Amino acid sequence: MAKALTALTDTCRIGLGCMNLSHAYGVSTPEADAVRLLNRALDLGYNHLDTAALYGFGANETLLGKAVMHRRDEFFLASKCGMFKGPDGKRLIDGRPEALRRVCDEALQRLGVEHIDLYYLHRWDKSVPIEESVGTLADLKQEGKIGAIGLSEVSAATLRKAHREHPIAAVQTEYSLWTRNPEIAVLDACRELGATFVAFSPVARGMLTDAMPDPDRLIDSDLRRNMPRFQAEHFAANRQAIEGMQAVAKRTGYTTAQLALAWVLSRGEHIVAIPGTTSQVHLEENFQAKDLNLSADVLAELDRLVNRDTIHGPRYNAATQAEIDTEEFTA
């Protein structure tokens, strides 16, 4: 039996974001296919799986419980609370102690475990002091229900407040060539405080790949439909920037996604990335990116082609942006 992983620092720098097996990008993956993919990930050497109560309103945690808990000692398990299905059936952000406790207990039941290695506050409920929500997570840790405490989509200032209440082991935020907001402050804050920075959407929700999604063909339930960068007034310019990156991939012999992942990992040794996929081929290709050693010239070329000046449109619409706490670039 494999040795149990005890910290995020024990894991490979490429983990698996499990969200899109159950949530966000359209029709959920059939369960049998999802089970095969998750087990194939472990076979390849992935040892960090990331889920959340929000994903499929519990369906993703249930999937992991069915699919891989017989191999529990082979991977580091991360999940999230603070954003979940509310009484009206819609997404709810709630950081009150009683809500966090309830969602944690439900997650443990769905996952079929007694302990979650890393538990994030998925969103900071701005009506609740961050210290109060983190204090509740610290109590859950003391009770043995969770291990390390993480935050998602927070600013450096909020991270520091939370860290004074209890050490924060990880911060999860969108980061890629086309989303550079963490470079304002939170990347450096994580480095200073000894927290791992976990980059979600490191291939830009499928954009930094060899086959960019076609916005006109996205189904109504695909969350990218409401993201400004996928809308007509911005998409053409964004596609043009990324086509330049695709040309670099062809020249170097790597996939565009591998270049995107290698670039993210090059930004600091405290950074890990958690791309998601429903494809076993992409699963293997993404994992190989951890071993890429791109030249300084290639990294600089990627940086020049896809950056905050060449990508058009905000990453979220105004309503979603109001729910998060990350720093934003000024115009």
Q: How far apart are CA 3 and CA 80, in angstroms?
A: 24
* Residue 58 CB contacts under 8 Å (≥ 6 apart), including other chains: 84, 85, 106, 107, 110
Q: Which amino acid is it at 286?
A: N
φ/ψ of 93, rounded to 5, equals: -100, 120
Specify the DSSP class assigned to residue 125: -
Q: Which residues pair with 171 in a beta bridge?
A: 151, 197
Mind giving me the DSSP string for 264-290? HHHT-TTEEE----S-HHHHHHHHHGG
Rg (C-alpha) for the chain, rounded Å, is 19
The Cα angle at residue 130 between residues 83 and 321, in degrees rounded to 5: 55
Specify the DSSP class assigned to residue 176: B
Active site annotation includes 55:
yes
> In terms of C-beta distances under 8 Å and separation of at least 24 residues, what long-range contacts does 63-67 make, across chains too?
63/18, 63/21, 63/22, 63/31, 63/34, 63/35, 63/38, 64/18, 64/38, 64/111, 65/110, 65/111, 65/112, 65/113, 66/31, 66/35, 67/34, 67/35, 67/38, 67/39
SS3 assignment for 10-49: HCCCECEECHHHCCCCCCCCCHHHHHHHHHHHHHHCCCEE
CA distances from 80 to 77, 83, 285 (A): 10, 8, 27
Q: Which amino acid is it at 277?
A: T
Helix residue ranges per DSSP H, 49-129? 59-67, 97-111
For residue 26, give both structure tokens: 């359209």
- State the catalytic residue, choosing from 55, 175, 254, 316: 55
Q: What residues are labeled active site?
A: 55
